[in-house]
Amino acid sequence: MTSIALYHCIEEEQPFAEQWAADHGIHVACFPFELHEDTLHTIEGFDGVSYKQRSAPSNRPDFYQRLSAYGIKQIALRSAGYDTIDLMEAARNNIRVTNVPSYSPSAVAELTLSHIMRLIRHVPQFDDRAKRHDFSVYGLISREISELTIGIIGVGRIGSTVARIFHALGATVLGNDIAPNHELDDMLTWVSKDELLARADVVTMHTYLDATTRHLMDAHRFAQMKPTAYFVNNSRGGVVDTPALIDALNNHEIAGAAIDVLEGEATLFGNKLDADAPIDNPYYNALHAMDNVVITPHIAFFTDIAVKNMVWQSLDDALALITGGSSPHEIAPYDNQSHNS
């Protein structure tokens, strides 16, 4: 029987994996751990791989060669992002890579709405006051969404869904993308990054991560924003120069931030840590200490619809490739790792 290994399979994914396996007559093994050097041997005997990684499987250049030696010819990611994969090394070893580019744009867009609402209504500050039995409202008057200009960097499937939501709520929407979709012209205005940063009351990131977008938001970009503006990142942690974000907040260059992703999050988000032990991530510690920052632990994808789609599409792609077929989600190899050198 054809068999597929599902790595970093969490409890909520398992029922969807089991249902897919029963429907297709395929053996699917759900492993709770990620695919790394110390778990590579577990791939023996499997025909295909599906994984959702928080970090690259290995820093060794021969990892994909050894994966291929086990007979693996594909990796089906259960995510839109693919920065954990060295596409060139995979291709050199005849390993094809697929992702899930559109598991649920609404899932991420709805969390973006939630983050922005928390920021503009000063919910973190009111929560902090309430903990001190201070229920006053002074100094924290809010603006309404219809007054705001929302700037979206990266207007693909998710970014366009964000645009539709805020257009429907009466906001002015600005968009910036390397390939503007002019079908959205009735709900947003396409502008340069410089103009977007200068005009927006909220800047929200919905771009991919590769060598061209790493630290796209740096000190120079934050300095272009209005001091009353908010910053939201629900895409990838690496698109933000995190020390620059922390400095911008400390120096009151921006009014606040909400993040669902963070540089160095692999040892933090998705893990249950000792409540009495210090957190070994200086970025998180600095941001968590601020009452104008919202942090969620990489949960934008975590809805029932999104998780089902991620599992099923990933397994569909894995089966297609290991049986000699093709997938529209296959990623053409290019050097997506040069920023790591």
Q: pLDDT category, 333, cuts 50, 70, 90?
A: confident
By C-alpha distance, which of 131, 129, 163 is closest to 149? 163
Domain that holds residue 273: 105-295
Catalytic residue among 236, 253, 263, 329: 236
pLDDT at 266: 87
pLDDT at 341: 29
pLDDT at 53: 86
Assess if residue 229 is contained within a domain.
Answer: yes
Q: Indicate if 113 and 81 belong to the same structural domain.
A: no
Rounded to whole angstroms, the Cα distance separating 110 from 282 reads: 28
Q: Indicate if 61 and 184 belong to the same structural domain.
A: no
Q: Indicate if 65 and 188 belong to the same structural domain.
A: no
Active-site annotation holds for 220: no
Summarised one tens digit per residue, pLDDT across range 77-126 is 999 888 899 999 999 999 999 999 889 999 999 999 999 999 999 999 99
Mean pLDDT of the chain: 95
Strand 3-7 with 189-190, pairing = unpaired
Q: Indicate if 268 and 316 belong to the same structural domain.
A: no
Active-site annotation holds for 215: no
pLDDT at 322: 97
Summarised one tens digit per residue, pLDDT across range 216-269 is 999 999 999 999 999 999 999 999 999 999 999 999 999 999 999 999 998 899
Tokens of 84: 């954990």
> 120 phi and psi, to 5 degrees?
-70, -20
Tokens 């899932």 found at? 107
Rounded to whole angstroms, the Cα distance separating 103 from 310 reads: 5
Mean pLDDT of 160-172: 99
pLDDT at 340: 38
pLDDT at 136: 97
Helix 105-120 and helix 304-322, axial crossing angle in degrees, nearest 10: 150
* Helix or strand holding residue 295 (H, E): strand 293-295
Catalytic residue among 118, 221, 298, 329: 298
Residue 339 confidence (pLDDT) above 50: no
Determine contact, residues 115/232, Cβ cutoff 8 Å: yes
Q: Indicate if 277 and 133 belong to the same structural domain.
A: yes
Mean pLDDT of 53-65: 90
Rounded to whole angstroms, the Cα distance separating 211 from 215 reads: 9
Q: Indicate if 136 and 241 belong to the same structural domain.
A: yes
Q: pLDDT category, 51, cuts 50, 70, 90?
A: very high
Summarised one tens digit per residue, pLDDT across range 130-153 is 999 999 999 999 999 999 999 999
Q: Indicate if 75 and 146 belong to the same structural domain.
A: no
Assess if residue 336 is contained within a domain.
Answer: no
Determine contact, residues 289/260, Cβ cutoff 8 Å: no
Rounded to whole angstroms, the Cα distance separating 92 from 90 reads: 6
Instruction: Using a cut of 0.75, tell me whether the model's pTM lies above it.
Output: yes
More confident site: 337 or 72: 72
CATH number of the domain encompassing residue 28: 3.40.50.720
Determine contact, residues 47/24, Cβ cutoff 8 Å: no
Q: Indicate if 66 and 147 belong to the same structural domain.
A: no
Assess if residue 39 is contained within a domain.
Answer: yes
Assess if residue 335 is contained within a domain.
Answer: no
Q: Indicate if 240 and 113 belong to the same structural domain.
A: yes
Catalytic residue among 13, 34, 253, 265: 265
Residue 336 confidence (pLDDT) above 90: no
Q: How many domains does the chain have?
A: 2
DSSP structural state of residue 217: B
Size of the chain in residues: 341
Tokens of 61: 């250049």
Active-site annotation holds for 265: yes
Out of 8-17, 27-36, 50-59, 282-291, least confident range: 50-59
Q: pLDDT category, 338, cuts 50, 70, 90?
A: low
